Structures are given as structure tokens and as C-alpha cells.
């Protein structure tokens, strides 16, 4: 019996899931062991005979119906046999008192019945509580999975529309580039107008580059690879300053050193969306700080706006919801969360203690063996 217990302890510590047949075999062994112990300790007169209820409850809660029926029949048969075949214990045999003409049970039997009831109640209670907790966790996971599936369906539809729109936008962008180039030739002598046209040219070039990247990446599957997060952030900030020259960024990525994360082409775009959200709130300045923790990389983007509206906090991250309709379509945060979560990370928005909002991004750190 001790060898079987040691083997069971070792087996449950393995990563391979325990099958129903293994669990059924364990319950069978428990039933036969209990029957043997009861046989040598009074049989059905032993107050602990009702312990047969425990394997039946466990089987009913965890195993399929055929296994449960088998365990129930075995326990019932064992209980029945113990009514006739057992080794009696004198302490459990009722004694006839001639003075009162009544059978009197030894106190040991009464105490044993109480102890058996107490242990059975505790075991059943703990089992039901654990089952309820497991069921609630499973239901919560199913709810999260349903929400993720719904969001993924919405994002897939948006992605399909974006790929089509990218092809359609290419022609008007080329037309605008030609017109801007002609205007640069015509207004070369006007310094103020020339600077505005140069800015417009860089913006149009960035739009064309973004469209080319979108079309190219839509044709291949995105496979995450190990990449230095410092390089990703530095290149992103350089690109972002071209897109948002009116907003200054204060950054610090020196603590990242050579930290590696799993990343694909969607990660820079996700960070770009979060930076744009911060810039829309702050208008003049944003901060970006990144550091390496034990098992993850943490990136914090802070704006200096009015902070989160607690009344609409639950709606943040919902597709097509935005608190600034004139500056977006309500997809930036949703797309960023989906991209970062697909890489094993997370996005959390918090109000800063002084002013504005902090966006915390965590990405799992790739550790080298």
C-alpha cells in the first residue's frame, strides 16, 4: 500500500495529464484497500464503513458515468460482503445488560461513529469547495476565451477591410506626392511654405511606407522571432518623431541593455498606437521609460492629459470605442492589446498620481539557456 502511495505521489507531479482510466484504477485500489482494512476490523459493524461514500462522491464528481456506476457497484458489493465476512472486534460488539434488559453499545463505537461523521463531512466539504472553485475558474476562462474569440473576429474583419483600403489609398497618395513635388518647385523661394511642404512630403512618404508594409505583411504569416527590444523602441521613436513632430518625447531605454523579446512586425505598430494615444491626450510631451525585470520587459508610456474617465473605463479597449471621435476610430488600443497579448504580454492603463495616464506594457523576456 505504501509503494502504491509513493507511485501515486510521483505520478501526480508529472506534467502529463492524469487520464480517467488512471484515476479509476486509483479509486479501485482505494476501495479494495478500505475493504481489507474493514474486514480485519469488524466489517460492517465498524463505524468507518460509511467511508465507502467518499470514492463514490469523487467518482461522480470527476469521472464519466460508466466509471461512476462501476465504483458504486463495487462499494455496494463490498459493504454487503462485509455484513457476513469479517474479523470481529470485541469492542464493537453490543453487550446485553441483564439489569435493564437492553443492549448497550461500548462508548468506543459511539465515538467512532462521531469521528467518522466528522471526517466524512470535512472531506466532502473540502471536495465540493475545490470543485466549485475549479468550476468557477473554468467558467471564467471560458468567458475570457469567448471575449477573445469575439474580439479576434472583429479584428479579422477590420484587417480584411484595411488590406483592401491600403490598395485603394495607394493611388491618391501617389497623386498627392506629385502635387506636393510640383508645389515645392513653385514655392522654392518661400521659406515658410517650403518648410510646410517638406513636412507634408515626409508625412506622405511615411504613409506610403506604412501601406507598403501593411500589404507585404498581409501576404505572409507573422512568426515571432527573438529581437532586441531596445532596438525596436529606438527605431520606433525615430519613426514616430517624423509622424508627430509637434510632440516631444522624453525616453530612457538604457536599462534594457541586450534584452530579447519575442516580436513580430505587429509589435512596433502596437507601441506606435499607444504612443499616438498618449500624444492625443498630452499634445506637447510624452514620456517613455523601459526597463528589464526578472522575467519580463516593462515599458511605461505616460501622457500629461486629463487622465482616465472612470465612468467609461470599462469601455476602453472595446473595438470602435473612442473618447476622442475627432482623432481616431477607436481601434488603436484594441489592436495594440491584441498584438501584445498574442506575444504573451499585457497592457494596463492607470491614472498617474500627479497628472495624466500611464500605459504599462509587459512583454515576456526571452532567457538564453
Note the pLDDT of residue 213: 67
Return the percentage of the chain with pLDDT > 70, whole number: 71
- The mean predicted confidence, pLDDT, of the chain is 76
Q: Where are the domains of the chain?
A: 2-147, 222-369
pLDDT category at 105 given cuts 50, 70, 90 is very low
pLDDT category at 153 given cuts 50, 70, 90 is low
Answer for the pair 277, 334: CB distance below 8 angstroms, yes or no: no
Distance (Å, rounded) from C-alpha 344 to C-alpha 365? 10
Point out which residues pair with 227 in neighbouring strands: 261
87 pLDDT above the threshold of 50? yes
Note the pLDDT of residue 308: 74
Note the pLDDT of residue 329: 45
C-alpha cell at position 66: 460508466
215 pLDDT above the threshold of 70? no
φ, ψ dihedrals at 129, nearest 5° = -65, -45
Looking at per-residue pLDDT, the higher value among 157 and 177 belongs to 177
Q: Can you spell out the DSSP letters for 276-341?
A: HHHHHHHSSEEEEEEEE-SSEEEEEEE--SS---GGGGGGTTSTT--S-GGG--S-HHHHHHHHHH
- In the block, residue with C-alpha cell 468550476: 135
* CA-atom Rg of the chain in angstroms: 35
Looking at per-residue pLDDT, the higher value among 142 and 230 belongs to 230
- In the block, residue with C-alpha cell 498627392: 176
52 pLDDT above the threshold of 80? yes
**Helix (H), strand (E) at residue 166:** helix 107-186
Note the pLDDT of residue 137: 82
C-alpha cell at position 47: 463505524
Note the pLDDT of residue 330: 53
Note the pLDDT of residue 323: 54
pLDDT category at 300 given cuts 50, 70, 90 is very high
Question: If you average pLDDT over residues 100-110, what whole number do you get?
Answer: 51
Note the pLDDT of residue 314: 57
CATH number of 222-369: 3.30.565.10
- In the block, residue with C-alpha cell 477590420: 158
Question: If you average pLDDT over residues 311-323, what whole number do you get?
Answer: 55
110 pLDDT above the threshold of 60? no
- In the block, residue with C-alpha cell 510631451: 285
The number of residues in the chain equals: 369
pLDDT category at 113 given cuts 50, 70, 90 is low
Comparing CA positions, the residue from 278, 271, 280, 273 lying closest to residue 327 is 280
Distance (Å, rounded) from C-alpha 156 to C-alpha 131? 37
Q: Each residue of 266-289: pLDDT tens digit?
A: 788 888 888 888 888 877 789 899
214 pLDDT above the threshold of 70? no
C-alpha cell at position 105: 453499545
Q: Each residue of 7-39: pLDDT tens digit?
A: 766 776 776 777 888 888 888 988 898 899 888
Distance (Å, rounded) from C-alpha 366 to C-alpha 369? 10
Q: Each residue of 319-340: pLDDT tens digit?
A: 544 555 445 445 667 778 878 8
Note the pLDDT of residue 154: 61
**Helix (H), strand (E) at residue 39:** helix 20-39
Amino acid at each position: 500500500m505504501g509503494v502504491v502511495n509513493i507511485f501515486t505521489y510521483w505520478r501526480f507531479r508529472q506534467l502529463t495529464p492524469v487520464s480517467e482510466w488512471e484515476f479509476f484504477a486509483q479509486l479501485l485500489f482505494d476501495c479494495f484497500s478500505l475493504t481489507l482494512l474493514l474486514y480485519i476490523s469488524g466489517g460492517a459493524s465498524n463505524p468507518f464503513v460509511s467511508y465507502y461514500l467518499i470514492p463514490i462522491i469523487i467518482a461522480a464528481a470527476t469521472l464519466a458515468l460508466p466509471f461512476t456506476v462501476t465504483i458504486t457497484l463495487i462499494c455496494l458489493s463490498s459493504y454487503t460482503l462485509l455484513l457476513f465476512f469479517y474479523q470481529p472486534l470485541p469492542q464493537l460488539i453490543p453487550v446485553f445488560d441483564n439489569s435493564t434488559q437492553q443492549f448497550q453499545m461500548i462508548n468506543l463505537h459511539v465515538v467512532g461513529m462521531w469521528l467518522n461523521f466528522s471526517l466524512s463531512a470535512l472531506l466532502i466539504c473540502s471536495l465540493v469547495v475545490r470543485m466549485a472553485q475549479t468550476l468557477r475558474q473554468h467558467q471564467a476562462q471560458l468567458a475570457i476565451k469567448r471575449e477573445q474569440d469575439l474580439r479576434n473576429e472583429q479584428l479579422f474583419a477590420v484587417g480584411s477591410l484595411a488590406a483592401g483600403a491600403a490598395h485603394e489609398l495607394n493611388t491618391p497618395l501617389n497623386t498627392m506626392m506629385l502635387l506636393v513635388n510640383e508645389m515645392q518647385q513653385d514655392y522654392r523661394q518661400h521659406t515658410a511654405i517650403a518648410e510646410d511642404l517638406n513636412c507634408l512630403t515626409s508625412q506622405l512618404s511615411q504613409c506610403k511606407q506604412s501601406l507598403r508594409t501593411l500589404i507585404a505583411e498581409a501576404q505572409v504569416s507573422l512568426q515571432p522571432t527573438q529581437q532586441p527590444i531596445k532596438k525596436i523602441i529606438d527605431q520606433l521613436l525615430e519613426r514616430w518623431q517624423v509622424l508627430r513632430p509637434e510632440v516631444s518625447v522624453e525616453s530612457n531605454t538604457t536599462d534594457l541593455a541586450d534584452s530579447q523579446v519575442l516580436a513580430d512586425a505587429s509589435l512596433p505598430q502596437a507601441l506606435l498606437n499607444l504612443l499616438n494615444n498618449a500624444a492625443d491626450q498630452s499634445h506637447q510631451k510624452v514620456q517613455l521609460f523601459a526597463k528589464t525585470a526578472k522575467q519580463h520587459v516593462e515599458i511605461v508610456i505616460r501622457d500629461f492629459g486629463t487622465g482616465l474617465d472612470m465612468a467609461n473605463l470599462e469601455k476602453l479597449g472595446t473595438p470602435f470605442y473612442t473618447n476622442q471621435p475627432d482623432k481616431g476610430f477607436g481601434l488603436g488600443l484594441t489592436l495594440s492589446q491584441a498584438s501584445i497579448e498574442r506575444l504573451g504580454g499585457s497592457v494596463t492603463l492607470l491614472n498617474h498620481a500627479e497628472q495624466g495616464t500611464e500605459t504599462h506594457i509587459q512583454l515576456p523576456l526571452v532567457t538564453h539557456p
